[in-house]
Amino acid sequence: MSSTPFFASQAWVGGAWAPNVLLSVDARGNWCGVQPHATEDERRGATQLSGPVLPGVVNAHSHAFQRAIAGLTERRGTHGGAQSDDFWSWRDRMYSVARRITPEQMEAIATFLYAELLTGGYTQVCEFHYLHNAVDGAAHADPLEMSLALVRAAQRVGMGLTLLPTLYMRSGFEATGLRDDQRRFASTPDSVLRLVDAVQRQTADLANINVGVAIHSLRAADAAAVNEMALEANSRGLPVHIHIAEQTQEVQDCLNHTGQRPIEWLMSHVAVNDHWNLVHATHTTLPELQAVQRAGASLVICPSTEANLGDGVFDYSNYAALGGKWSIGSDSHVTRSWSEELRLLEYAQRLTQRKRNVAAQTGPHPSSAAALFEAALAGGQAACAKPLGDIKLGNRADFLVLDAASPALLGVPSSHVLDALVFSSPDARFSDVFVAGKQVLARGQITNHTDGSDTWLHIRQDFVREMKQLWV
């Protein structure tokens, strides 16, 4: 099988920087050669990459439509007098978009978002997708309409996509159904699994698309439905994602209704295994974290959204000490850069513990950036159930080329490039991004010209047009 060779003067291989690396990609877009210390003769004919090379990162939690409200919820509420602003008041504002966004608007916004995520160093995104129905809450004539809008967006820019059709049945623990402003979310285990089957058929010939399932939250589905989804997902080998223990009110409501905390209930009533990805898990006890680790499940941490919504600070130190798996997500997309997410994760720990280099206190890495990056790569594989992340034989060849001229990297010794990328802001830029060995970003510009257009220009124009329709 033919292969395409690349040469990097330094590349992140096996959890450390390696010098003079000859990288080879096979016709399927997978790594077929990773050779550090390549001689001049060995690398002759290889494409010279212009800067340090890192593996691409999985964005393990995304609500693409929420990109439309980034920057638009940062003023105190105008209702209720002096009431404080919190997650629940933010949710009401978010619903104002969720109620109105059309498939065309979804596609334009997601396309722009996925292009931004590529420039921020993500090469696969897990789309937690619950906008299934039409604006009036009725079923679309084509049940796949909203799902395929997301698929088209990812394909246009070359982003890998794990689509997670989401179960959403009720508005709260005591409710029997959904509120009027949640009618677009309505689904059942059967309807979600039909979506999974249909998306798999429709995307069978498309590159870098796969599916899983999601359960919105314990408050949004009863025990029977949660277990039905778990059994089906397990039998099909699908990743499962669920929002859990994000807010203190959610924890208290679960306690009031079930007598147990959310993660406590999940781990004692559902066969959680290594297919599961628990999103947020902001409010946990040590026994809960131990149970997650024993089950082989992963957590998905979304630092920028958890900070923006005032959720709280994840108990990173205890979970890392257990060897727990986790990935990173940008959720509501108030930022679209994994280095910023990792920086905020570490800084939140430093602020609450009044210590430095918290991530480096557990595990083999003296570098906080390396400890965070390696954990995010490993957890990303669990989130999308694909062999991604590490630059190693057989994995999909997703990689990032740093712009060595970025101010954050100038004058930095080669051994500290990752540290500077994560902790010296503003972020260093990625000049080039490759997904499955195919270049999708060149000199900071999207290059996946599926329609022969000036992709970046048209993507921006489409986004601005649809934002005006939503907000002007």
Q: What is the CA radius of gyration of the chain?
A: 22
CB 22 within 8 A of CB 7: yes
Backbone angles phi, psi at 176, to 5 degrees: -105, -5
DSSP-assigned beta bridge partners for residue 10: 19
| Cα separation, 107 vs 351, whole angstroms | 39
Residues with catalytic annotation? Answer: 280, 331
Half-sphere exposure of 280 (CA within 13 A, CB side): 26
| Cα separation, 166 vs 196, whole angstroms | 10
| Cα separation, 24 vs 295, whole angstroms | 36
| Cα separation, 199 vs 147, whole angstroms | 8
| Cα separation, 40 vs 162, whole angstroms | 39
DSSP-assigned beta bridge partners for residue 26: 3
Left (φ > 0), alpha (ψ -120 to 50) or beta: where does 443 sit? left
Instruction: Report the chain's terminal Cα–Cα distance, integer Å.
Output: 54
Left (φ > 0), alpha (ψ -120 to 50) or beta: where does 71 sit? left
How many helical (H) and strand (E) elements, i.e. helices and strands, does the chain have? 14, 18
Structure tokens at 375: 């954990």
Helix (H, G, I), strand (E, B) or coil at 225: helix
CB 236 within 8 A of CB 200: no
CB 31 within 8 A of CB 23: yes
Which parts of 103-253 are beta strand (E)? 122-129, 160-167, 209-211, 213-215, 240-244
CB 213 within 8 A of CB 230: no
CB 135 within 8 A of CB 102: yes
